[in-house]
Structure 1
Amino acid sequence: MSKIRRIRDFQHTFSFSSQEQQFNVFHDRFLKSDLGRIYRAVPWDGMVSALGLKEAKKGPKAIFSPRGKVALMFLKHYADCSDRKLVEGLNGNLDWQFFCGIYIGTDRLENFKIVSEIRSELGGKLDIDALQKVLYGHWSPHMEGMNAVTMDATCYESHMRYPTNVKLLWECTDWLQRLLKKVCRENKSAMPRSKYLKWKKRYVSYSKMRRKTKKKRQALTRALLLLTEKFSLELDRWEKEYGLSFTVDQYVRRAAAKKAHAQQHALFHHGVRPEGRIVSLDRPYVRPIVRGKEKKPVEFGAKVHKFQVGGIGFIEHLSFDAFHEGIRFRKTVLDVQGLTRTKVKIVGADAIYATNKNRKFATGNGIGTDFKRKGRAGKHEGHRKKLAAAITKERAARLEGSFGNDKEHYGLKRIHARTKATEILWIFFGIHTANALEIGRRMAKARLAKAA
């Protein structure tokens, strides 16, 4: 390795064009980095085929090839930064350019929205099961212990403000009022009279209060319910009488606002707790997930049930609606056996899975678990306790540890995507970027051992 020097010491003689002249030198350096290990670990052709990506035959040539689009999603979670900073880094980082299969040279990418455009394109094509089969097929030679599986669920939260009934109703009222105002302005008609400005001031004052009394909350809720209903009915009247048309996004938001109003009206006036409660007008698909944690009893985002084989995690089920992970024990075991073509002999899962039905299934199929024993101790109780302790340690250290690793280092602490499809894509690539780095390190270790 040559000595590292300061650019200012030889800035008049250093040639940046050497990136082209010494391509192999720079590329070999890239392959030795963690990003290069991910690059070696990803089955690019299989993923491109599973996503159904092809080069466009008509029109100008895209900046990113189908392979480059997939690489950009991995790079997004490896860098764990915003789309704007990702594009800025791509302009100046040669390793990132190698990873995405482009060479920018003296040019610059200015449009950072290209990342979200690619994310939206891939989100509509994502098939989690098909892609995970491709990944497993490529990674399986570097995985051990296929007959042992651990499983658990976690919530990957969406990036949104903490929802309350008053905040939700104000979002609906404010958005419907702005839409109605736009319609009236375009049709040169006067806005219908309302007390919107009065209650806007009161909402701002209420928001600044440290102690929000029940009396003020009820008065504000009642007024916002009336305003939301009034603006919604006015828009319906304009659409019916004048044949106005709205965009798809506006129709979706109007439907979400109507549903939220109906839910909050029933809750406020009749005490009926809503099913499928809407907590955000921007993300009407997000539901409250009750987790029961001390610091965070309720989370808002996608609940993901994962299983881990050979230290590599895969998504078994993903839903924005709450579900009980205990009922997915049998299906997870069968899915693992279908994926690995190996009979599962050991399963690690926490106490929520230890139902009589799951115990019966595990016993009937000769599967060892770390469930707490019921009834009398058998003659092999000492052996059973050692096995259960080893399984619990593996699950707590590796599977639950991967949840924190994904959230802290691979962009899954808060999901900043704006649609349901792109949120699912975000979670998928965040999880498998961590997996790809682990497999890449195993591959590098095997190459060193073989060379020695």
Structure 2
Amino acid sequence: MNKYTKNNLPKLFSEEETCGHRVQIFKETKLGKIHASLPLEELGTTLPIRQEGTAGAPSWFGNAGMFAVMFLKHYLNLSDEMLVDRINTDWELQMFCGRQFGDNDRIRDRNLPSRIRSYIGNNLSLETFQEIMIEQWSPHMGNTHCSLFDATAYESYVKYPTDEKLLWDCCVWIFECIYVLCKELGVKRPRHKYREQSIKQLAFSKTRKKTFKLRKRRRNSLLYLLNQGIVFMDALLAENAAFLNIAKYLCVQEKLKTVRTIFRQQTYMHEHPGEYVKNRIVSFFKPYLRPIIRGKENKRVEFGAKAHIYQVDGINLIDKLSFDPYNEALCLKGCVDKHNRHFGELHQLGVDNIYGTNKNRTFITENKICTCLPRKGRPPKHDKQTSKMRQELGRQRATALEGSFGNEKNHYGLRKVKARTQNNEIVWILFGIMTANAVKISKRTRQQEDG
């Protein structure tokens, strides 16, 4: 019989020695260097303290561990389900999150990262988050007297909106909601043309050449059907409000408010073609989105969040993040004040030509800031040194700053933001940018240790 049975195999290392050995290995890996560059404990103090044993996503990890999960999400660029599978099977990722799993420990909730994102989004302040990161990274940053400004759009994961798609989404929701409520309340369904219109909508979507008359006829039918659904829903809720669950009633009322707004806007556009509608809703499921005119040759309009970014020594920071379109030239003064507050006085500034308004030029001249904006009027005789600096600032803005936008979108999950709520999208964008920064800081610390 074999000397070593299943129950008395020789143990080369104890559990404590194995854990210590893993810690040493973890510190030498790329993931360990990134972990060392992140102030996870300080970030954890920004969230409310949760009692142990309470239900919900954060029960698997503490506050610091939840931030670690979000950084892992964007560093690995994985879906929520794949991220949970990796954490369950990889001790290195578990150590990054601050919790080593036992033999029987396994996360079975595939929506855990999504719920963590919602929890952070409801309790985190963007300004506080960035101040903690700046305090941690400032010793590894040089050339803080120079900054680069630009704006970019982070697209949301939505289908390209048209009036017909938007109206049909509203019709689908309101009639499915009517079906469910009638079944729960034991009420007879009202008569309608929803099934007939669903067949016509499918035929319309398959039509390759959609003429103006065909689109107008389709919109007219959908507006009539949607108005019919709103009348049915209002009558149903008014008669049976006392029998509905309060949470469900409030949710239905919130969605119904969005449907009414869309119906009012689309009716006005149908009756007054070509006229501008303020705060126009382009997505039923994400009513906070607005069209952002980019003016690019391959993508004239984008639907998502517009972020005004300022870069200091290769580190990107968010100055303003909004789902409403705005002119980034108006953000220059406030962004300079933020730079002066966090990094000291600003002397060199790389910006696009859109920032070259008279007010901005006056502010720049008063604060003695050198920029890459083209001069107004006749240049002075001895301007070689200033022109070279202006060219270098313009080159850095066009390569380093705009290149970082592409790097974040291609490698850190910001090509299409797949979060479903406004707060979650903000958190998604914030962690994508900060994860790219953390990778740069970890490379610098490694070079300093090797050098």
Both proteins in one fold, TM over 0.5: yes
| Counterpart residue number, 1:56 | 51
Equivalent residue letter for 1:171 = D
| Secondary structure of 2:259 counterpart | helix
* One of 164, 183, 186 as aligned partner of 2:184: 186
CA distance in 2, matches of 1:413, 1:128: 21
| Counterpart residue number, 1:35 | 31
| Counterpart residue number, 1:433 | 435
| Counterpart residue number, 1:297 | 300
CA distance in 2, matches of 1:357, 1:347: 16
- 8 Å contact from structure 1 (residues 199, 220) kept in 2: no
CA distance in 2, matches of 1:16, 1:168: 64
* Percent identical residues: 36
String of CA shifts for 1:124-166, please: whole Å, max 9, x gaps: 0111111111111111010011111101000111111010000
| Secondary structure of 1:22 counterpart | helix
* One of 102, 108, 130 as aligned partner of 1:110: 108
String of CA shifts for 1:17-40, please: whole Å, max 9, x gaps: 987642222222222222112100
| Counterpart residue number, 2:92 | 95
Equivalent residue letter for 2:335 = T
Shift of 1:247: 3.8
Which piece of structure 1 moves more, 57-66 or 37-46?
A: 57-66
Q: In 2 relative to 1, CA 25–216 (structure 1 residues): closer, same or farther, beyond 3 Å?
A: same
| Counterpart residue number, 1:160 | 158
| Counterpart residue number, 1:78 | 75
Q: In 2 relative to 1, CA 391–235 (structure 1 residues): closer, same or farther, beyond 3 Å?
A: same
Shift of 1:62: 2.1
TM-score (norm. length: structure 2): 0.93
Cα RMSD after superposing both structures: 1.9
Q: In 2 relative to 1, CA 428–268 (structure 1 residues): closer, same or farther, beyond 3 Å?
A: same
Shift of 1:387: 0.6
* One of 17, 23, 44 as aligned partner of 2:19: 23
Shift of 1:232: 0.9
CA distance in 2, matches of 1:229, 1:18: 71
| Secondary structure of 2:220 counterpart | helix
Shift of 1:105: 3.5
* One of 281, 284, 287 as aligned partner of 2:287: 284
Aligned length: 435
| Counterpart residue number, 2:118 | 120
| Secondary structure of 1:251 counterpart | helix
CA distance in 1, matches of 2:399, 2:102: 44
- 8 Å contact from structure 1 (residues 267, 274) kept in 2: yes
* One of 135, 144, 147 as aligned partner of 1:149: 147
String of CA shifts for 1:227-249, please: whole Å, max 9, x gaps: 11111121111222332544433
Which piece of structure 1 moves more, 156-165 or 242-251?
A: 242-251
CA distance in 1, matches of 2:396, 2:141: 15
**2:43 pairs with 1:47:** yes
| Counterpart residue number, 1:7 | none
| Counterpart residue number, 1:228 | 226
Shift of 1:106: 2.4
Equivalent residue letter for 2:263 = H
CA distance in 2, matches of 1:295, 1:19: 57
- 8 Å contact from structure 1 (residues 157, 414) kept in 2: yes
- 8 Å contact from structure 1 (residues 173, 227) kept in 2: yes
- 8 Å contact from structure 1 (residues 225, 265) kept in 2: yes
Q: In 2 relative to 1, CA 239–396 (structure 1 residues): closer, same or farther, beyond 3 Å?
A: same
- 8 Å contact from structure 1 (residues 19, 26) kept in 2: no
Equivalent residue letter for 1:54 = I
| Counterpart residue number, 2:361 | 359
CA distance in 2, matches of 1:18, 1:85: 31
* One of 338, 363, 387 as aligned partner of 2:389: 387
Q: Which runs of 5+ in 2 are unaligned?
A: 1-8
- 8 Å contact from structure 1 (residues 288, 301) kept in 2: yes
| Secondary structure of 1:154 counterpart | strand
Equivalent residue letter for 1:250 = V
| Secondary structure of 1:347 counterpart | strand
String of CA shifts for 1:380-424, please: whole Å, max 9, x gaps: 322221011110111122111110111011111111111111110
Which piece of structure 1 moves more, 435-444 or 242-251?
A: 242-251
Equivalent residue letter for 1:305 = H
Shift of 1:59: 4.1
TM-score (norm. length: structure 1): 0.92
| Counterpart residue number, 2:333 | 330
